[in-house]
Structure 1
């Protein structure tokens, strides 16, 4: 039972549909919500003349409706990423299309634009967030085509917007629904950890004696890291690059349509259009940053490959494979030899480290860090308590799957004991589920029409290995970092306090949004925090202790991760760092390449798969199947790249540019004392609470006390 003072949140948690027959209700409810929104807008247009137009009678009613709409619309779209019901996922996808189509129509209403323009010309004295809302709204109508004269061109622009929406929804659905994989014999998977292989689907009939390796992270990554056979690693790598080739034409169409739309609006290309309202402002700023970083990293990348090739050569020699060693370092070599180098040169045993990071224990440790740092309290809601917090008392449907954990989040006493919101954790893979790791806002925070606060709800959706009878779910260190990163987005979503849902939490510009979570990753490389997060799984239950003892000659491990393991881990933080960042540069430079063509004809002629693979080879210096004489279009990695369809188009550089800001914040404020609660609370109130309600550069300057600097970023990479 939750402690009494945390047992009665002032806002009920939403309930979720679970049955196929609920699919029709999703569509019905979507149409009801959109009809309500249209009625609000129609009433504004009908009742208000341009001469009487003010913020409170034109924009405020629509903003309040947007707030209310978001409390249901986000969840309606969420089913497509998490529901076990195909019917619900399909209905969610259809509902997303209805909402997108409605949004496009609404954003191109001349009658509303005229009123918003009249408000903008009034220069009313507004609070800063409302002034920003007016500015963004007015500019949004222009960016949505109302600067294009009425007629064929505007009609074409609207048609493009609708087609891009359809493409984006279909692209992500194909990724979520992907069920591909390869059949291998146990011999072929030699070297892959036994617990990974044991969890794979067993073959029957013609596949008798084989196991099915899917492309989900818990099986894909260990195979790439541990499979001794280079041919198996090659097959897995190439097949994973081609797992959703139905997205190939969708990606091409998206790039072409974006370019056409940007030119209709008067921009040179899509990147110029997208980057205009981000921190970077111009494609030149982005390309200069990426180019400079590429130049600085390239020599280090070549040195790292040279060293890794020595490991490959010695590995082949030790296994009697000298005759097949060709002196090349392939894409499917990297995870394997990167891991081997860490083990042999740094005595880093990732499997041994993972024993100290059982998933649930690690989560508890992370939440404790956030409690101390930001003044939060996390109360897990289980059993009878679920009915008490659920809308309508429906505790059975307060989560969408039996594996999902639910927490109510509160301020601690020093922060006033107030309610903060709801946090959901959906951590294990299943068919039809979003395949990566992400944070989804389910309900934003805002101030409602009564002047009361609506509290947020946010969900972490990940794909970690499930527990078995012998072991709980164990996290590799990079998975600990991933979890901390995504939980960082969740905290940003929870503690944000904005007036309008439009600016809530992670609703910032794309080249800033990753910075808060990237900064928090540093806690995963701090000795005291690593130790506090850790607990050897054998201490969790007598059964686990017995199983561990039987497999390890009755030895007893330390309860918390030993200093020697921590030191070996920290010593590897920047090992092969140049290659890792060159990989990120490949994604960023490819993104900018396809979104900055010299002309529309140039993008029409651009061979996109070939460009993706050539750029990867040129930037990362890793060889692919082209080394064997195959054409450059051997793979379609861009078709698996959900980011470039899902909002990071002409924005993937943000993962790297955000590191500039995250490094500056950490080194300036937290490096000396990562658990400084005073600074943690200042960070919460100065950065996280603001969301996108003010210019992100202003947020940084408020926190740092100066303009941000690249010094810490380049120092961290060893490039200063």
Structure 2
């Protein structure tokens, strides 16, 4: 499909630090006027969904078109002043939201509208009930006075803490200097991108530097230094994290909950902390022995390796050993060379292949917008205005003819690291979809923000298999965002409960372990251009046979055999995060939380759950690192919710095994999944969505089967 002009212009990214703050203040003032007018003009006896909730929902729809982008600049802009303004804008928006969510005059009208018992369509009824519950959860059942004032004060402070924590992580720019000898084993294409002064390289804590070093550096002292420094890279976040945990607990108790976990989980699929604790405990029991068995095997590998270097083996297996020996095991026992595999996954080719998969199974079409076509669709007539950085790619997304041929939305890809940019991989909604007051559709815009290694003159950006999986996962969130069809922006796309939101993307990861899909996604980089071929030949040597264009079948088979290699240890790591999250959010009382040493708890739980030694095994105690201060999830919305990565894995595996395992490219099932699951967003109860798709209640059988665990 060639370029055709979409019916809606993409958003513009032309903000200045001054305009960000001015636009934020203007938007919030306009929103306040909408609510003030409702309060003045509607009496309690006349309150209805149509005259109270609907105007507020329409205003929220319009707000989100600006608000998400105003807050997005802090994650992607190269301009420090613009990032700072975006951070300030988010504070203003959060403060406004807290004030708005605690307006008793509005709550009384919403309460009256709920009690009027109007006959509403299901999504409007859900909005009414969620809005009502939101006011209750924001303290409006606390009598007006000092307690409610304190609750509001806590909410505002928690917002400030979250924003500061995230800013510290985004702007973290530390690292360590090493000699070439200390970095022995680290791939040359990684070293070539590092800053160099004299005979030393500066290694940052960004993923393209950090992970290859932990995987390939033969010097265990180097790996140890990198690992411990990375756990201490944002120590200014330690007091922020502690303060947030204490304030969350205090706020939950003011609302009458026994702890923050009870408050947070009440409106999720799990409903109660006990359900979560039982799930995590059950999984831990099933995985622990497997983890010990895996460590025993890895220790033997380490012992042989250490002895081969003429060094003394101390009988321990450390946290900074794991990525290294996990990789050694892949190469030794499975003859799997991740560097070789990466040669078959040039980033741009991989993206093209992934989009083709989504085109086929979901009935979509992706058209990259380049050159003059950007000017054609830009609201300003300037193509540069539709992206926030020159490296960003933008696609218009359409339904294919079978799905009606209509416009779907915009997809952005921002793939490489830069100073001040969000440091992980994530999907950001830029503008949600919804239905306008006049009944026409507003189309969404969504962005993938990643940090893959940059291409060089001799090589394109090459993805390790786990990066292929990460890209597919985040693209899965992007597709969820694009194909959602909800009336209200509140429920659009990934706006589902936290213990379901990862399931659709986790399910799509399975395509990265399917032979036919791996074949179609792959293309050896030497086949992309004569220059790349020459540089490959120079590196490989003249006596190596020319590689196949697509990844060979034997390499695919070796890769698939490693799918759950050391899987118990991988899932025990996830359990460490999940159990730590629950531990700090369900203390028996506030006093015991005040006495808790959070860093020591984090490290002690890691040793206890993951079974892998840290510096405490060297007599350094449990205070050696502050991993929680580097862990954005627990400050960014996954508080008392990290278990959702594991529980949604149960749902995603069940969906894949039941529906797609036999034929992952089944177009009929793909479209059914699109319309039954993805399209619904959060507009209905997520369990109903699952049951509608599966035709039954979800089960854990497939999850345990995948992990090789008998129930």
TM-score (norm 2): 0.99
Q: Distance in 2 between matches of 1:547 and 1:270?
A: 56
Q: Distance in 2 between matches of 1:575 and 1:102?
A: 48
Q: Distance in 2 between matches of 1:463 and 1:550?
A: 28
Q: CA deviation at 1:110?
A: 0.6
Where does the alignment leave 5 or more consecutive residues of structure 2 unmatched?
A: none
Q: Equivalent residues in 2 for 1:157-556 (5 A)?
A: 157-203=151-197, 208-321=198-311, 323=312, 325-554=313-542, 555-556=545-546
Q: Distance in 2 between matches of 1:628 and 1:704?
A: 50
Q: Distance in 1 between matches of 2:358 and 2:466?
A: 19
Q: CA deviation at 1:579?
A: 0.2
Matched, 1:139 2:133: yes
2:4 corresponding residue in structure 1: 7
SS of residue paired to 1:261? helix
SS of residue paired to 1:408? strand
Q: Distance in 1 between matches of 2:527 and 2:438?
A: 51
SS of residue paired to 1:559? coil
Q: Check the 8 A contact 1:279/1:512 in 2, yes or no.
A: yes
Q: Check the 8 A contact 1:224/1:233 in 2, yes or no.
A: yes
Q: Distance in 2 between matches of 1:76 and 1:533?
A: 35
SS of residue paired to 1:548? helix
1:31 corresponding residue in structure 2: 25
Q: Equivalent residues in 2 for 1:652-671 (5 A)?
A: 652-671=642-661
1:16 to 13, 16, 19: 13
Q: Distance in 2 between matches of 1:406 and 1:494?
A: 13
Deviations along 1:37-73, one digit per CA (max 9) or x if unpaired, are: 0000011011100111111100000000000000000
SS of residue paired to 1:673? coil
SS of residue paired to 1:689? helix
Q: Distance in 2 between matches of 1:221 and 1:401?
A: 26
1:91 corresponding residue in structure 2: 85
Q: CA deviation at 1:395?
A: 1.1
Q: Check the 8 A contact 2:10/2:379 in 1, yes or no.
A: yes
Q: Check the 8 A contact 1:422/1:456 in 2, yes or no.
A: yes
2:605 corresponding residue in structure 1: 615
2:105 corresponding residue in structure 1: 111
Q: CA deviation at 1:320?
A: 1.3
Q: Distance in 2 between matches of 1:478 and 1:17?
A: 35
SS of residue paired to 1:459? strand
Q: Distance in 1 between matches of 2:605 and 2:117?
A: 49
Q: CA deviation at 1:198?
A: 1.1
1:101 to 95, 101, 105: 95
2:590 to 600, 606, 614: 600
Q: Check the 8 A contact 1:15/1:394 in 2, yes or no.
A: no
Q: Distance in 2 between matches of 1:366 and 1:527?
A: 14
SS of residue paired to 1:393? coil
SS of residue paired to 2:677? helix
Q: CA deviation at 1:317?
A: 1.5
- Structure 1 segments (4+ residues) deviating >4 Å: none
2:701 corresponding residue in structure 1: 711
1:573 corresponding residue in structure 2: 563
Q: CA deviation at 1:666?
A: 0.3
Q: Distance in 2 between matches of 1:646 and 1:507?
A: 14
1:151 corresponding residue in structure 2: 145
Q: Distance in 2 between matches of 1:569 and 1:251?
A: 39
Deviations along 1:579-635, one digit per CA (max 9) or x if unpaired, are: 000000000000000000000001100000000000000000111111111121110
Q: CA deviation at 1:240?
A: 0.1
Q: Distance in 2 between matches of 1:631 and 1:93?
A: 37
SS of residue paired to 1:392? coil
SS of residue paired to 1:442? strand
1:79 corresponding residue in structure 2: 73
Q: Distance in 2 between matches of 1:450 and 1:48?
A: 23
Q: Check the 8 A contact 1:406/1:425 in 2, yes or no.
A: yes
Q: Distance in 2 between matches of 1:140 and 1:16?
A: 32
Q: Check the 8 A contact 1:354/1:477 in 2, yes or no.
A: yes
Deviations along 1:336-374, one digit per CA (max 9) or x if unpaired, are: 000000000000000000000000000000000000000
Q: CA deviation at 1:148?
A: 0.4
Deviations along 1:358-401, one digit per CA (max 9) or x if unpaired, are: 00000000000000000000000000000111112221111000
Q: Distance in 1 between matches of 2:379 and 2:63?
A: 17
Aligned residue-pair number:
708
SS of residue paired to 1:424? strand
Alignment RMSD: 0.7
Q: Check the 8 A contact 1:355/1:474 in 2, yes or no.
A: yes
SS of residue paired to 1:223? helix
2:61 corresponding residue in structure 1: 67
Which stretch shifts more, 392-401 or 466-475? 392-401
Q: Distance in 2 between matches of 1:455 and 1:251?
A: 37
Q: CA deviation at 1:17?
A: 2.7
Q: Distance in 2 between matches of 1:551 and 1:55?
A: 68
Deviations along 1:634-658, one digit per CA (max 9) or x if unpaired, are: 1000000100000000000000000
Where does the alignment leave 5 or more consecutive residues of structure 1 unmatched?
A: none
Q: Check the 8 A contact 2:384/2:390 in 1, yes or no.
A: no
Q: Distance in 2 between matches of 1:282 and 1:719?
A: 26
Q: Distance in 1 between matches of 2:581 and 2:183?
A: 35
1:563 to 553, 573, 576: 553
